[in-house]
Structure 1
Amino acid sequence: MKFRLFASSLVAAAFAGPVLAQDQNITIDRPECVAPAQPGGGFDLTCRIAQRGLQEVLSNPVQVTFMPGGIGAVAINLFNTTRTDDPNAIVAFSSGSILNMVTGKYGEWGADDVKFTATAGTDYGAIIVRADSEFQSLADVMTALKADISSVVLGAGGSVGSQDWMKAALLVRAEELDPRQMRYVAFDGGGDAMSGLLGGSIDIYTGDVGEVISQLEAGAVRVLAVMTQDRLPAPFADIPTTNELGYPDADWAILRGYYMGKNVSDEAYNAWVDAFKSAYGTEQWQQVVSDQGLQVYDKAGEELNQDIQRRVEVMREIAQEAGLIQ
């Protein structure tokens, strides 16, 4: 039930009102957004939002670079060692990144070792199959799992204990099955997981609905259900939710945003915060967020830090219940 309460609270928060835009043009010498994975996944999507959404408020364009490894571990290590005070770089993170911090997946680096800067929006878990999959509905998947849990290969861009694993775990737990018995393949990011799905390595991809919009439009995949209580607006309005299909506890919402190194100056940090606040509420920003399949969720600076601390406490409680941490 606490999984459901946590995800549902994120769904409600996603429709909070935008921050009022400010009239200013902000100079950041060499703005960079680091996507800590291969191209094509959720971190890539997050950086593209910053790249396009800040065009009208930054003097210089945002460059996107990729830093795969450990689903964010390589990036957080770099920004806690050699780039701790980099004034030009922001790093994409998600709720899964926060979970990794909470459960020790990033080693010694936790939520107190970065400066959470701004949000990009919110996304939702999804049950995704190839267009030619034998599974025509979520009911088909659940029937197969109940008959033989090992007959269905699930996978996503996260290891055991990650939020993508938790999405798969929630799905099997909805039928009172043991998540420890499911066949789960961990990939290093959503792009690799999508390749695994399209290549036939896995049957079900428990990814995020926002990151599959291009494959969905191309007819390469089908989304059997979005892991939320209420239906999302277009282009996902025709996709049923896990709630309406009879699995109200199998929902999961994902926050996407950016952090900076913990030793950046207040001046550099505030420049980025001001840039995002200037973009929030504009038609340009809202269109960019919508184009990437996300829902608007605008928080930056101290307001975001307080939000993250609340999430950390809830995630820690969930992780303890799941036996991931003591």
Structure 2
Amino acid sequence: MRAPSILAALFCLTALIAAAAQAGKLYRWTDRQGIVHYGDRAPDKAPPAEVERLAFRAEPGAIARLRVLQEGERYLAWADNTLAGPIEVRLDFTHSNNIVGSPHLPARAIVDARSSAVVAVLSAQDPTRGGDFELNMRSTPGDPDARARNVDYLLPLQQQQFRIDQGYGGHFSHNEPEHRYAVDFAADIGTPVLAARDGTVMQVESDFDKAGLNLEKYGDRANFVRILHEDGSMALYAHLKDDGGVMVRLGQRVRAGQQIGLSGNTGFSTGPHLHFAVQVNRGMRLESIPFRMTGPQGPLHLSGGAR
């Protein structure tokens, strides 16, 4: 079956989903011959005075990308995992005319770190006539079958004196399941951020440089590091500094106490601090879980407080 209308819809959809990942820093510089260059990284050899960072609105990096490929009379919907840890995806029709999926949509799949998986195979319900469709794919970090162990976490900041500005259930921004058991540590911009537990750097975001109290504008625009632990739980270190606030790379193994970044004030934030949470995937939704933490003076009391 040849169905040009289906193909057009597929190519358009794939392009739109891939475009969400095209975020990054943009630099402009002039070389010694007077030629102007643009790039997503500053040159190593150009004098700093000749390099200009251009301001533009970055978008969060994509967790997964959807690819739809034709194979004979059918179409394969692939999910490409961009993270260095497992994710769960859910594929839905936003529009379907004479097209069915196997398995039936909505369909879910777990995709291993930096790998791809076929989520569904799409074909015509009635092969004698054409059809068209549109797809939507959501993705969530983590394996929904993970079972977190009750372990001690280290204080994620290199400082002897610390203050918790917002603890478990804080009314300002810790009232959603994803952040209910998060802790906000007061920290000057540039304070070393340390891994609270051994793990693998699963996800990083480092392209943002502003903060504010407009949730729609800043809610998903904080710099952060997500570290995957051996039991499948994930630690989130958020609101990191712009320009050098993230000091680890995707897939890197880190040890408890190792520096992974610098605290900052990016995203939805009232001021400089480090947002720390331990999260698990509970079936296409992230939930924070209670944890134990030890500081220089012993166990920390993590409940209550509000920014």
TM band (smaller chain)? under 0.3
Given the two structures, how large is their TM-score scaled by the length of structure 2?
0.26
Instruction: Give 1 or 2: higher helix fraction.
Output: 1
Query: Which structure carries more strand by proportion?
Result: 2
